[in-house]
Amino acid sequence: MSKQLAKIRSTRLEINDHGILTFAIDVDYENGFSQCVGGMALDTYDKIKERRVGTASGCEIIRRLIDEFKVGGLEYLKNKHCWIYGDGDELNFKPKGIQTLSVDAKTKGIFFEDIYKEFGVEE
């Protein structure tokens, strides 16, 4: 796994065309590339209720993002610098986690796969 220095351009919490609640963090990398980090489902379909419902893992991802950057909400991530951890080269980089810079806070970062595993969610 490698990491790339990035600046957060914008954040979104949205329900996409298929009715799935997702989050997106748009970043600009130091090397000039841009990418959307996130896009993962924060909810699931409940067969009994016959509708989508929020999940504990989805809530935890948002909670940890806010806590990672020591801000009051996702909207305050704009213009923050961070490390994006992932696999692949510049053109095929697949984000796996995010971490604030150590000058802003001493953290271990968050890794999306770890949160899913913690809550027993299979990707």
**CATH numeric code, 2-118:** 2.40.50
Q: What is the pLDDT of residue 61?
A: 96
User: What is the per-residue pLDDT for 82?
Assistant: 96
| Its pTM surpasses 0.95 | no
What confidence tens digit (pLDDT) does each residue in 46-87 have? 999 999 999 999 999 999 999 999 999 999 999 999 999 999
Asked if 101 and 42 touch (Cβ cutoff 8 Å), the reply is no
